[in-house]
Chain A
Amino acid sequence: MSDRIEPARQLRTGRVLRVLAPLAVGAVLLAAWEAIVWAKQIPSYLLAPPSLIAKTLLAEWSTLGAAWAVTLQTMLVALAAAVVIGVTMAAVFASSRALETMLFPYAVMLQVTPLVAVAPFIVLWFNDRVWLAQVLCAWIVAFFPILSNTSIGLRSADRGQRDLFDLYGATRWQKLRMLLAPSALPYFLAGLKISANLALVGAIVGEFVIGPAAEHPGLATTILASQLRQDTPMMFAALAVVSLTGVAVFFLVHLVSWFLLRRWHESAVD
């Protein structure tokens, strides 16, 4: 029967659309952007057309690429720390309501502290280890969604499933590993999706407010320098690198999430 075949085809069409649709939107927007710049003869120092940005991106890749590598490294280290510390803290909170009540307000405080205000002090506390201070900034903004989501996730295990584990005399560790952790996984992954891009933003903002590492400036410095030197195409090229990185990171986490949940979680099942 046709409606037995249709869903499979729709599925495939759906997947193709999910990739093609944003690309098409992007292409239309870029084309419109390019056309307006040409039609109105807007000088490139006011608004660089996409073609010039792309050209700059390629021509200046030695500078941009090096800065990108620095920012990416800051982001990845901060994100890794956010995952390790966020998940560990969530596990501790899940094991003790008292500890959670005691410590959670401080996690919130850390989250709402304006980075701009504390950044100069962070770098002093770190005794001029600029890069570490940047990592700390990125970590501060990235870790909370992971902590918060994983905490909820660890508490979200089904009541009946908890009974089941108790019935069979499961140890705390068995419960954490075989019940709580898998229950928390979709929540953790949702937090990771937010945190990954926050870590990128944090790495850039951190460099803005703390200042660049002396010999290894990142993308924030490229942006500041190109502003200062009035090099608009370069600034847009740097922003393009940031945007593309953000999109790539998002899809990567999305892919990992889909892979881990595809067989059992409604969010990932087609």
Chain B
Amino acid sequence: MRNAELQIVLLNAAALLAIGLSNVHIAAAADKVVLATNWLAQPELGGFYQALADGTYAKHGLDVTIKPGGPMVNNRPLLAFGRVDFLVGTNLLQAFDAVKQRIPTKVVAAFFQKDPQCILAHADGPLRTWDDLKRAPLIMGNSGRQTFFLWMNAAQGFPKSNLRPYNHSLAPFLNDKNAAIQGFATAEPKRVAEAIGTEPRVFLLADHGWDSYSTVLETRTELIERRPELVQRFVDASIFGWRNYLAGGDGAAAANALIRKENRSMTDGLIDYSRTKMRELELLGAGELAEMPIGVMDVQRVRDFYEQMVQAGMYDAGDVEPEAAVTVEFVTPAADGQ
């Protein structure tokens, strides 16, 4: 095993920065791999926990550690810095940003074909349609404001002045029948229902033209070039993980136990709800689970989405070659797909 580490320590006026570049491993036994995610352990990341818990990663010769994200945690720099090998990204925007900033990372698989990002409104409140939402106080955190809200603002006419701060608490929403709040369609409706008894109205961004993939798997270009077979093994094992996680029955028990252990606020009720919703909303694709081409990406769709974002004013036309943000070599496309 070789481990080259370069440490540069610099004092600047504001802070002491310690930055390290560490390299991945060349080994005969199981390869040590670290996966950083974008949130706390939750069913929306269930496929990865499944592959870890049921030994799929081990069977593929991988010794995997999952490093959860969370509020105030930004795992993204760890990928570029070489501290982790794979990263779960929320949507394609950050992959485009990486290209724009010449950060050598790429999306190698897209697990959610449809973004579960949604806006919630009270079932007994005055907000009944997507257009109603544009007039309502909209509770939204910073990452939403810097990503999908830019599209909502530019392409859908949601005014910035309606934004209200979001601090990972539903309280401000529960308090105000006129308010709308950001959420995951697979989780927040259940949390709202548990708090006030009725499920809220759910408006999926994906149903109104937001066409990003979600829960995308990213890695460094250098790793793709140097160890394509390792990337392939990780992608394959993760796809198995997702297929097994959503298959239902007791197959997911170990993964769910792991999720609950990592994230104490998770309950069986919330987990069941999320798994059901992921199937219902066809987040991983339509049709039979066994034949579903999980993780697949369509380069044309990536191009179209980029074009959409250019029109929303988030990028200049020449900023990014959108196809440079992804590589489709690791996921076998569906028989009918490209």
Contact = CB atoms under 8 A, between A and B. Distances in A.
A249 to B, nearest CB: 13
Contact of A232 (B101, B137, B164, B166): B101
A240 B13 contact: yes
Given A214-B161, A232-B101, A36 B10 contact: yes
B101 A214 contact: no
A120 B74 contact: no
Contacts of A244: 13
A45 B77 CA distance: 9
A124 B175 contact: yes
B11 A229 contact: no
Given A29-B11, A128-B164, A228 B175 contact: no
B3 interface: no
Interface stretch (A162-170, A177-185, A204-212): A204-212
28 contacts: A36-B8, A42-B8, A43-B103, A44-B101, A45-B101, A45-B103, A120-B167, A120-B171, A123-B165, A128-B172, A130-B164, A130-B165, A209-B167, A211-B165, A211-B166, A212-B142, A212-B145, A214-B160, A214-B161, A224-B142, A225-B146, A230-B76, A230-B94, A231-B101, A232-B101, A239-B12, A239-B14, A240-B13
Interface in B147-183: 147, 160-167, 169, 171-172, 175
Interface in B50-91: 74, 76-77, 80-81
B21 A46 contact: yes
Given A36-B10, A47-B17, A211 B141 contact: yes
Contacts of A242: 14
A215 interface: yes
B31 interface: no
A230 B97 contact: yes
A225 B142 contact: yes
A228 B146 contact: yes
Nearest to B162: A214
Contact of A128 (B77, B137, B143): B137
A33 B13 CA distance: 12
Nearest to A231: B101
* Centre residue among B80, B141, B167, B171 by max chain A CB count within 10 A: B167
Contact of A215 (B98, B103, B137, B160): B160
Interface in A78-134: 119-120, 123-124, 128, 130
B208 interface: no
Contact of A26 (B13, B14, B166, B171): B13
B171 A124 contact: yes
Given A120-B167, A214-B160, A221-B142, A47 B98 contact: no
Nearest to A120: B167
A40 B21 CA distance: 12
Interface string A178-216: 000000000000000000000000000000011110110
Query: For the side of the interface on A, what is the size category?
Result: 35 or more
A210 B165 contact: yes
B15 interface: yes
A239 B15 CA distance: 9
Contacts of A128: 137, 164-165, 172
Contacts, number: 108
Interface in A21-46: 26, 29, 32-33, 36, 40, 42-46
A59 interface: no
A63 interface: no
Interface string B14-45: 11010101000000000000000000000000
Contacts of A224: 142-143, 146
A156 interface: no
Interface of A is mostly: helix
Nearest to B166: A211
A161 interface: no
Contacts of B21: 46
A157 to B, nearest CB: 39
A127 to B, nearest CB: 10
B102 interface: yes
A45 to B, nearest CB: 5
A51 interface: no
B171 A45 contact: no
B161 A227 contact: no
Interface in A223-256: 224-225, 227-232, 236, 239-240, 242-244, 247
Contact of B101 (A33, A225, A230): A230
Contacts of A215: 160-161
Nearest to A33: B10
A-B pairs, top 7 by smallest CB distance, nearest first, are A211-B165, A120-B167, A243-B13, A214-B163, A243-B14, A225-B146, A45-B103
Nearest to A29: B11
Given A46-B19, A128-B165, A230-B76, 9 more contacts: A36-B8, A45-B80, A124-B171, A214-B161, A215-B160, A229-B146, A230-B94, A240-B13, A247-B13
A232 B164 CA distance: 27
Contacts of A240: 13-14
A224 B145 CA distance: 11
Nearest to B142: A224
A29 B8 contact: no
Given A211-B166, A243-B14, A230 B142 contact: no
B320 to A, nearest CB: 12
